[in-house]
Every structure is written in structure tokens, then in C-alpha cells.
Structure 1
Amino acid sequence: MPDLDPATTALLTVECQNGVVGEESALPELAKEARDSGMLGRVAALVDAARGAGVQVLHAVAERRPDGLGANTNARLFRAAEKLPVRQLSGSRAVEIAAPIVVAGQDLVVRRLHGLSPMAGTDLDPLLRNLGIRTLVVTGVSSNIAVPNTVFDAVNLGYRVVVPADAIAGVPASCTAEVIRNSLALVASITTAGELLAQWVPLRRASA
């Protein structure tokens, strides 16, 4: 993987929120995979190291209004979400970023009320362009839907995308490897959390 310029690189966490990957998740199987695989811990380490290296950190959150106004109903996934015991309601604990990931004051949080991707119809693209970002590191969940959507949308918009394979998760666990091998590797640079940390941690020490 080539070197990433902190000035033009951003790290994005996708749906790493309590109601998705936290202990009170609406999707307990996905939450268990995210925790047991170590994915959440690796994302937390990447967020900390990126911030220390001068890489902009952004968090993409999926939420909905209590009345559902503006939410999609055109797919089975959306209709099923309405019936789950935990709902991703705006302002609730469910839409807060899950531990051990820490949100700092300089991070940007991008929220959406609709769709499958944090890049479509949100502020994410203009924010990245205003920041001068050319490379987007995508982490989080799920490798089934939101992560591939994010990667494809970013590539279509002209960004170079990097995916640390062990910092995304989906269900079943085998899905992640298949999606990476057969889809994401065709459009993004595939790396690991360790390789990114090897670049960013020394930069943090140098600027300390």
C-alpha cells in the first residue's frame, strides 16, 4: 500500500453506533461479530492514530425520526428495521458512537435519515471536498450493505478508497472475505489496520 498523505486523507467510520454494534444492538449477530472479531477495537485504534497523525476523522451515523418522516420504505431491509426492538432514533443513545471508539472535538459526524450509504444525499462529499480530501479510508459495518455502498459511491465521486480488511465486519463472517475478494478489491486498495497504524503512529510521535 502506498503512503497516505495525512493532509489529503480522511478516515470514515460507518455505522459504528450503539444501536448497530453496541451491547444493546438491534442487530445482535452483527454486533457480536464486530466485537468478537476485534473489529471495533481496531477501528478505535485507527481513529486514535489517524487523529494523532493529522488525518481527519469522520463518523457516519444512520438514524431516523420517531415518526419515520423521510425514511425509505422501498426495500425489505427498511421495513424490517421498523419492527426491531431497538430503533436508531435521532438523539437517542442508539445513535451515539459505540465504545471503545472515541469521538473528539475535531471529528465530524455525518447523520442520515435515508438510504443505504452515508455518501448519497448527505453532507459527506462536500465536507470532504472542502477539506481537500482525495483518499478515503473506510471502516465499520456492514460488509453486507453499507460499507460496499460507501466504497462504490466514493469511487464514483472520484475518491481513492482504502479498506482495511480487518476493520470492517458483516454477517456471516465469511461474507466479509467474499465481498473484499470479489468486489471491493476491484475498486479499492485493500490493507490491514496494522499497516495503517504502522504509517500513522510514527507521525503522531513525530508531532508530539
Structure 2
Amino acid sequence: MASRDELAEQLDPATTVLLTVECQEGVVGAGSALPELAAQARSSGVLRNIARLVGAAHEADVQVMHAVAERRPDGRGANGNARLFRSAARLPVQQHCGSAAVRVASPITVADEDIVVRRLHGLSPVAGTGVDPVLRNLGCRTLVVTGVSANIAVPAAVFDAVNLGYTVVVVADAIAGVPAEYTPAMIRNTLSLVATIATTDTVLCCWKRPRRALRA
């Protein structure tokens, strides 16, 4: 885990974006298409930690971006080239555009200044979604990654962001996957090699510091 001092420079509000990955009702909400993942995200405190981070980001003027995965009812533009996609298309809860399933899940709040990025295809919220130019236009240097799942979308986002030249901070207690023991193993053996690993409390402490201290 990174120390507060190590994180302070990386988490300058002027050059940091907080990304929530697939924290939508149809994934982590009460009516989730993936109940095991939803239960893990809620029982572990991950959703609560994400909500805390989003609230602190709003107070510290850190840009927040919510990445949502959705699908047209007719399936146009959606992938079908992996078992995951084919299985998702048969689930009783569908992430249809405009439905309740693709709303950002409670208790996470969405402010007017937040950016919601919706994708119809692929595994990653970063690659091929237009997120990269938006981040560059925002002056982003550090991307703080939270959300689900540690199995696929979160590591995909981390790898893509690193390949694009961003510094990535992964908040270990603000991501979830299944089974529960997989997430710490993924963080320890893979994500820690390419990203700074932090905790929610450490990030919150950095953002609560005066900006002069953050930029010192």
C-alpha cells in the first residue's frame, strides 16, 4: 500500500480523475444480473467506500467519471465473440440503454459536473470508448480506479490507462470481484505491478489536505 506522502503528489485534484467502473443498478444493485458480485460489493463495504470517495472528490473538486456498460434492446453493436457476452445476453436482467439497470447505483451520488461514459461494446471502459481524449482534455495525469469487477473490467481499465500513459491508482478496498479471495490475489500479483495501490482512507486523507500541501 502506498503511504499518504507517496500519494499526495499523484492525487493533485487539478490533474486527477476518479473513475467508477460499472457501478450500476443492474450490476451491483438490488436487482443485479450478477447477484453474487452485487452481494460481494455491498457486504464487503466496497460500494460504501466508492460512495465516500465520490463524495470527497466532489468536495475537493476532483473530476468524477462514471463508466457504464449498456446494451441496445436489439443488441446492435454489442460483442458476441466471447462466452461472457453470450451469457450476459441470456441473463434475466439486461443492461438496456435508458433502463433502471444502467443508472449509477445507490449510495453513489452523481453530481451535475460528473461525466457519465456509456459503452455498447467490449470489456474495457477505456479502450475504444472515447474516454482517453476526454481525460486528456480534462488535464488528467492520474486515474483513480474503483468499481467492479476485479475479474475483468477493472484490470482492463488499469492496463489500458497505463498503456495510454496515465498514472493509475487502484483503491484496493473500493473494487470487488468473485470469488472474494480473487480480488486481493489480483491486486497483489498483477495490479500492484502496474499501479499504485491505496486504501479509501488514505485517498480521503490526501484529498482533505489543503491544496497547497497537495502540490508541494
What's the TM-score once normalised by structure 1's chain length?
A: 0.97
Q: Which residue of 2 aligns with 1:56?
A: 63
Q: Which residue of 2 aligns with 1:19?
A: 26
Q: Which residue of 1 aligns with 2:214?
A: none
| % identical equivalent positions | 69
Match for 1:28 among 22, 35, 42? 35
Q: Which residue of 2 aligns with 1:2?
A: 7
**For residue 34 of structure 2, what is the amino acid of its counterpart?**
L
Unpaired runs of 5+ in structure 1? none
Q: Which residue of 1 aligns with 2:194?
A: 187
Unpaired runs of 5+ in structure 2? 1-5, 212-216
Deviations 1:68-108 (A, max 9, x none): 00100000000000110100000000000000000000000
Check the 8 A contact 1:18/1:96 in 2, yes or no.
yes
Deviation at 1:129, TM superposition (A): 0.2
1:135 is the counterpart of 2:133: no
Check the 8 A contact 2:161/2:167 in 1, yes or no.
yes
Check the 8 A contact 1:53/1:203 in 2, yes or no.
no
Please give the alpha-carbon distance, in whole angstroms, between the structure 1 residues aligned to 2:141 and 2:46: 25
**Residue-pair matches, total:** 205
Please give the alpha-carbon distance, in whole angstroms, between the structure 1 residues aligned to 2:200 and 2:184: 15
Change (3 A) 1:102 1:203: farther
Deviation at 1:54, TM superposition (A): 1.2
Please give the alpha-carbon distance, in whole angstroms, between the structure 1 residues aligned to 2:117 and 2:109: 15
Task: List 4+ stretches of structure 1 deviating above 4 A.
Answer: none
Deviation at 1:2, TM superposition (A): 2.5
Let me know the Cα RMSD of the aligned residues: 1.2
Q: Which residue of 2 aligns with 1:90?
A: 97
Deviation at 1:200, TM superposition (A): 1.4
Deviation at 1:203, TM superposition (A): 4.5
What's the TM-score once normalised by structure 2's chain length?
A: 0.93
1:120 is the counterpart of 2:127: yes
Please give the alpha-carbon distance, in whole angstroms, between the structure 2 residues aligned to 1:155 and 1:29: 29
Deviation at 1:199, TM superposition (A): 1.2
Q: Which residue of 1 aligns with 2:207?
A: 200
**For residue 161 of structure 1, what is the amino acid of its counterpart?**
V
**For residue 61 of structure 2, what is the amino acid of its counterpart?**
G
**For residue 2 of structure 1, what is the amino acid of its counterpart?**
L
Deviation at 1:120, TM superposition (A): 1.1
